Amino acid sequence: MPFSYGPYEFASHVRDKSIRMVRNPHWDQSADHIRLNLPDELDFELSVEGSVITDRLVRGQGTDQQAVSFGSSAIAPEQAAQILASPALKQRTITGFLAGRRRLSLSTRRKSRTSPAGERTSMR
């Protein structure tokens, strides 16, 4: 399980399915002037199809009323007409350039790379 120095810590992680984060009892707001811990917990559902996410946000039932979509879950063209035709749904839509919305994750797993002879070589 990953660790955290920030306002939240991992409570559970099911690979490719979900992440649940709760307030970190060891985090001190007075020592961190950038981050806040506002909600008591954060629940992330992973690997959900974009059209399913859009349908759930449009319905706005249960916990989906406070849901936020991020990552690569753009609205499908066939769903865009429905959303843009409804003033209530259009009001809940963010459009345009969203600078802080993308991120790059690097894999920290690696395999040893050796030369065919089994010895490491340097570049010249």
Structural domain boundaries in the chain: 1-47, 49-93
Predicted TM-score of the model (pTM):
0.61
With vertex at residue 55, the alpha carbon angle to CA 53 and CA 61, rounded to the nearest 5 degrees, is: 95
* 91 pLDDT above the threshold of 60: yes
pLDDT for residue 106: 55
pLDDT for residue 99: 54
- What is the Cα–Cα distance from 96 to 113, expressed in whole angstroms? 42
Tell me which H or E stretch contains 43. strand 41-45
- What is the Cα–Cα distance from 76 to 18, expressed in whole angstroms? 23
* 111 pLDDT above the threshold of 80: no
- What is the Cα–Cα distance from 95 to 92, expressed in whole angstroms? 10
Q: Which residue has the tokens 């319905």?
A: 59
- Judge contact between 10 and 23, C-beta under 8 A: no
Strand-pair partners of 55: none
Tens digits of per-residue pLDDT, 35-85? 887 889 989 888 888 888 888 888 888 888 888 777 655 677 888 888 888
Distances (CA, A) of 91 to 11, 60, 83, 112: 34, 14, 9, 51
**Cβ neighbours around 23 below 10 Å, total:** 16
pLDDT for residue 31: 87
Residue 39, Cα to own-chain centre: how many angstroms? 16
* 12 pLDDT above the threshold of 90: yes
Residue 36, Cα to own-chain centre: how many angstroms? 17
